[in-house]
Amino acid sequence: MAQLQRLAIAPSQFQNQQIILTAEQQHYLSRVLRLREGDRFIAMDGQGHWWLAKLEANQGQLLEPISVQTELPCSITLMVALPKNGFDEVVRYSTELGVVAIAPVVSDRTLLNPSPQKLERWRRIAQEAAEQSERQIVPTILEPVSFSAALSSLKINSSSTRDKNYICVARGDSPHLLDCLIHLLPQETSPPAPLLQGKGAGELSFSGTADELKNPGQGTIVIAIGPEGGWTPAEVEQAIASDFQPVSLGRRILRSITAPMVALSLVAAAWESEIREI
């Protein structure tokens, strides 16, 4: 199915065996991709389900479900302090690397004050990146809140051996994230877990808990990445008090838009390597 275009469809657009395409989707399929009536594409609802579909006039016809498993066996939420520039890339590449949710936070050193239009843009980028990278789900992009609010809303119960909160720090003698992940890896693989259910991409808010984002397969990980200049000592202490473990990403100082990619790459490589070996 790799040669077929993937298109994210909102759950409300599915009616019986039909897909009610928006004007933008119609333009994209017919004018940009040059699909003709009868041509096929892949419809994905952003919540774990794919279908083979056929273009018919201004709508799509569902033909059959497609079985696919592209998600990581662990659930990753990226809590990231908004950088001055480059957050579009953070959203795009984090989606490709497998996050289920991105939580932008305003820290003591955050300079960006995003508008509501920015949030909608980030959600569109996540959708496009999910289509391109063959994700089963479209990651949830939460509304920006303060660091303290994010800590209380997103922290998980790390008393479970499969669940962990990490905060990445640039200096000090914290253990490397990779070393922590090796000890966190499950001894046995478990069946693929249910994916994000009940709410469409972008509909979650910080009024909920981490359970709403949780994929109970092989654990839930929350990774916090700081802004330019890093977290303040007070913020690190606040995170530790909220059951976050400080970790290092190496001896070099990484840019605020590079660090998320390094952290997520380590998680994805560790878990997917474990799957291949068992």
Domain 6-66: top CATH class? mainly beta
Per-residue pLDDT tens digits for 131-141: 888 898 899 99
Report yes or no: 199 and 212 within 8 Å, Cβ to Cβ. yes
- Which has more confidence, 273 or 244? 244
What pLDDT, on a 0 to 100 scale, did the predictor assign at position 82? 94
pLDDT at 47 over 80: no
**For 150-172, what is the mean pLDDT?**
80
Give, rounded to a whole angstrom, the gap between the first and last alpha carbons of the chain: 27
What DSSP designation does 138 have?
P
What pLDDT, on a 0 to 100 scale, did the predictor assign at position 210? 33
Residue 40 tokens read as 């096929």
Closest listed residue to residue 273, CA positions, set 181, 157, 160 = 181
- CATH 3.40.1280.10 in the chain is located at 75-277
What pLDDT, on a 0 to 100 scale, did the predictor assign at position 221? 92
CATH number of 75-277: 3.40.1280.10
What pLDDT, on a 0 to 100 scale, did the predictor assign at position 204? 31
- Which has more confidence, 3 or 153? 153
Lowest pLDDT segment from 124-138, 147-161, 230-244, 262-276: 147-161
Lowest pLDDT segment from 49-58, 102-111, 153-162, 249-258: 153-162
- Which has more confidence, 276 or 258? 258
What pLDDT, on a 0 to 100 scale, did the predictor assign at position 191? 36
Whether pTM > 0.85 for this model: the answer is no
Q: What distance in Å separates the CA atoms of residue 187 and residue 16, rounded to the nearest whole number?
A: 43
Mean pLDDT over each residue of the chain, to the nearest integer: 82
Q: How much helix, strand and coil, in percent to the nearest 5, is found in the chain?
A: 30, 25, 45
**For 17-28, what is the mean pLDDT?**
87
- CATH 2.40.240.20 in the chain is located at 6-66
Per-residue pLDDT tens digits for 164-216: 999 999 888 899 999 998 887 765 544 333 333 333 333 333 333 334 333 44
**For 115-128, what is the mean pLDDT?**
91
What pLDDT, on a 0 to 100 scale, did the predictor assign at position 264? 96
Instruction: Give the pLDDT band (50/70/90) at residue 219.
Output: confident
